[in-house]
Structure 1
Amino acid sequence: MRAGYTLNGRYRIVRALGEGGMANVYLAHDLILDRDVSVKLLRLDLRDDPSTIRRFQREALAATELVQENIVQVYDVGEENGMQYLVMEYVEGTDLKAYIKDHFPIPYQEVIQIMEQILRAVKTAHDHDIIHRDLKPQNILIDHHQIAKITDFGIAVALSEHSLTQTNTVLGSVHYLSPEQARGGMATKQSDIYSLGIILYEMLTGTVPFEGETAVSIALKHYQAEIPSVRDIDPRIPQALENVVLQATAKRPADRYSDIESMADDLKTALSPTRADEARFIPENNDNGETKVLPISALKEMPIPHVVVTPEAAKAAAKGSDASATENEPKKKRLKYKDRHPRRRKFMLAGGTIFLLIVGILIGMALFRPKMTNVPNVVGQQESLARQALVSSHLKVGKIRKTTSSKVRINRVARTEPRSGTQLKENTVVDLWVSTGPRRVKLADYQGDSYASAAAKLEAMGFTVHRESVHSTSVPSGRIIQQSVAAGKRVVPSKTDLTFTVSTGSETVTLADLTNKTKAQAQRYATDHNLNLAFRYAYSNDVAKGKVIRQSPGEGAVVQEGDEITLTLSRGEQTDSSSVTDEFNVNVKIPFDDGDSDDTSDDSGASSGTNKSNLIQIYLKDQDHSFSTIYKQMTITADTSVTLPFTVASGKAGAYKVVRDGHVIASDSHVTKN
């Protein structure tokens, strides 16, 4: 789907986010609620596949039932031109797979914090009897605040739908597949727990437990092979934390945690000192067909086999036994004392040899065991001092990286990788992250934008936003007229206060009675109420010359600031000589100045600024007007044409001049009818 396409008249596509086996995901903008969303659109080649459509709809049904902060929320479901789509919460960040790759090794406490969020989300699904069946790091999103959110319930089903779960078709990602799913069995809540155990394994070790050339070979390993020990990869991992992995990934579902809550409780205390001496977890029933050595107690409990003995065989056995005993008794007595001393010497020699062997092994282990050290806490120190501290701790200084930080001063160490306190082998490389100071943002030009939208975005970024409201005839209500910090300036959001001058639109004016007012009085009233005046002239025997005969709109009418009011002024009584006049109109085009033209420069060359409007004053000179008073005053925001009415004695000429922001920009001192 191309960028700019508006789905259902509401969701404007911005760009593609990713492609999956069932659907493509796009970043879109909700035009109604003014927010970014994710749109999941069923692939073109699968729109006629009934099973895929059911799976897509199942995801919508499953996700809409689940409302929890660690589950990506579904906002809308629909279809347009045969296209099935979901509209979901947009999570700005990355998936857990990429997060592990970029941040490994991850501190154990951080691993537990992320896993606890994932467990809360899965618990919500299980409480609604929904099994995810495809839990994997690629389906877990991590935002910039390390908030985890589970997505993609495409193959999740309710526990009651046995026809969909109990199938010979293997669903889910093979690296995280439970043994019962690998052999085509029914998925249960314990199947999700197994997948969670594999995810925890990957977060601790940076890799999955089983690899293979084919998906089948990996699935067989999940079914047959024991999970490798995470402590073999990283001996620093506490046994209690490894036990969480071992119990979650037990081959038999009955040996796993009974529910998500049990796993969460066990994980919460995995780093507790009280569990430091915990024994390795071994399933209660681990009989997988291997040959085993039975203990003596088991042999004693075995039944004695039933043997049939004849009388002749019994007599022969008794004779042989007595004869043998009589014959051997003297020999035993002779040998008893003869062999006692050589046996004692043999035992002493063997014991001494074993003792020396054990001592040698212990000495060898002490000599060749790698020396360990802890990463010192150098956060807040200068780079040179941090280097010295690492060398003093028998560690090597790795890459020096830059990072923004609102807590650590510029050019000071913000963090180390691995983190401080981590136990490492001596001469291990440690990277330093040096602060470049707080994150700075280039401020945009918000003039003309909606205040509500701009303020919400800026406050989310950490700005403090203030509003000042003013009336404006040229800027629509709710739009920004001016901003206190200039566009283009780079600022720290948390330390910047922004004040926007916002238009409340034109103020309404209830017109007063202007009849019998002089032209000057009418113009003062118009100026005080931000109104524009237009004048007409007529002879009147009742109204004195130069006063208002009538107005349009009339008294009591409600108008907006900036509206034009037409006043008819009296020429006085009509005489025979006054009838010999020429009346005509002249059209004048007034150009708008946006502040860049040279017309607005004063004698010193300084510009009048970048005004959003021009104040126009027009002067006429004819039978009814003189240059001593303004004929018309108005505000323009674009090029404007006006019609000027002239009344002159027959054969005479009139004149006009146009003043824009205090400068004469047009004039004509000889205006005639022809």
Structure 2
Amino acid sequence: MRPNYVLGGRYRIVKALGEGGMANVYLAHDLILDRDVSVKLLRLDLRDDPHTIKRFQREGLAATELVHPNIVSVYDVGEENGMQYMVMEYVKGMDLKAYIKKHFPIPYQEVINIMEQVLSAVAVAHEHNIIHRDLKPQNILIDENGVTKITDFGIAVALSENALTQTNTVLGSVHYLSPEQVRGGMATKQSDIYSLGIILYELLTGTVPFKGETAISIAIKHFQSDIPSVREFDPRIPQALENVVLKASSKRPADRYETVTDMANDLETSLSPRRASEPKFVPNSEIDDGETKVLDPAALHSQVAQDEDPLTQKKDDTPPVKPKKKRRHRRRLRYILLGLAVILLAAVGLAFWLGRPQSVTVPDVSGLTVNEAQQKLSDNNLNTGSIKRQSSVDIKKNLIIKTSPAAEQTAKKNAKVSLYVSTGPRLVKVGNYVGQSYTRSEALLKAKGVTVRRQNESSNEVPIGNVLQQSIENGQRIDPKNTTVTLTVSAGQRQLQLADLTGKSKAQIQRYATRESINISYRYKYNNRAKDTAIDQTPGAGSTVREGSTVVVTLSRGKKPVSKSEPKIEDFNVDVDIPFEASSSSSSDSSTSNSSSSSDDVNTVQIYIRDHDHDYKTVYKQLTIAQDTQVSIPFAVASGKNGGYKIIRDGKVILSDNNVTKNSH
């Protein structure tokens, strides 16, 4: 695709960004919305495959439903001259593979922050029953603000179908494929979780767990070899953090996390000191896959012994050779031995029964205080073991959540029972988002599980899209399950549609200007309408203007006099510099802060003029200034006469001149 080619009559190609297994990626400019976008074009060798085209279109349309700050938005899907294309959000930054290479080693907390954003995005996709199937660092982008975004939801299915038949293509993906995908099985949500576990492994070690010369050799290792220990690579990695890798990348899907949210919750507390003594995760025993089994030698010897025992051999019909007396003696001896064996077994059983420890049932102490639980355990002949603390949404702080062994289970008399005490809901710390981009702030809060609400408000000082204020103060800890953070976002200067001012009096126009925070500049013409009645305005009625804009209104001077003795009117302008005066609170603030003036640190001034058309009874103009400002005041003065002006701030005259003539300024 050559530069400057306009795709779909809308997207102008700027340059190539890269080539992938399914599509080529280009930077383009949306000519309608005036923004940069990414365009993916299905590869030439796949454009004649109707099945791939159908999947590409269907999955692309499905991806447009995924609206999340950590998912690259899909704007459009189309076709032109047999070219299937997808238009997506352009993310200026690098993919996670390049980020790891550039920044490794990455601090553990930053690793968790990156993974929490990725997990949040995948969770939303799974809620829509969309499985990515090709999660890998190359499909995860990090923009210049550190926000992580997942891409390629639209072509993941098609790619998975071509994976193991395109060796050069799959080599970048097979490092992250789950064992069930490698075997040709259907991908599930647990398959995405496996890939996420491998990505976490690479973030912690800087490399993938399995390597090989071919895609097939790597694939075989996924279902035959154990995941190498990340703690052997870096012993400082907490065991709890390694356990997240091990559980997510278990061979059997049943041993992995049930949902992405479960993985995110486990990952969030993996650096907690309370999990410092956590044992290494070991998956459940593998099920019987039909492999060849070796007979137990003990069982084999037992069978041989049984075959050799005369007591178990089949009786022969041949008459005995020995005399009957000897046979009766042998039978009597057998009965004696059998009786002694029964007596011995009975004695052993009685000794075992008398010597066995007595068992008791563990009582249910959930919802009790520690002291109450200890007393109840003692009443049931049980001792208190370790006391562990963990967060709980349902159990109030300092009350018992559960025990180990669990309630109603059987335990030996005087055994130790561990208590799990609630620390209350898991609290997260709210940062300072004022002045930051709403998109980034929302992503950071949602990564912590916080519900975010947006409301817009006009602002002359804060750029559009940045946060003006937040409902929860910086540093405050909240329960993300029950607290919503409201971010007030700048919508820029307020805009309004101008009313039709023609026919209005000067007083009416001034009241309208004050109410809508606009400035009025007056001009005068002779007209048949009554004096000081508006006959024209610029911009016209219905025009959209911002707060603080100036609207020029032409007022009538009344009918033009017919008397030849009417004095000549001279029109001229006088430039006046109005000084800005900062408030005392703003002055003190400025000595300790480099921030710009607040929205309250402004001056409102009124200008009165006296000339042929005005007197000091009405305001000529009112304006708001935030710095020293120069204004140009128009005068219409009869020959031989003079004019004047007064500028008032806070009820005090700050500037005045009562002898204004054309030649005096």
TM bracket (short chain): 0.3 to 0.5
Q: Bigger relative contact order, structure 1 or 2, given CA contacts below 8 A and separation 6+?
A: 2
Specify the structure having the higher radius of gyration (Cα): 1
Length-normalised TM-score, structure 1: 0.46
Length-normalised TM-score, structure 2: 0.47
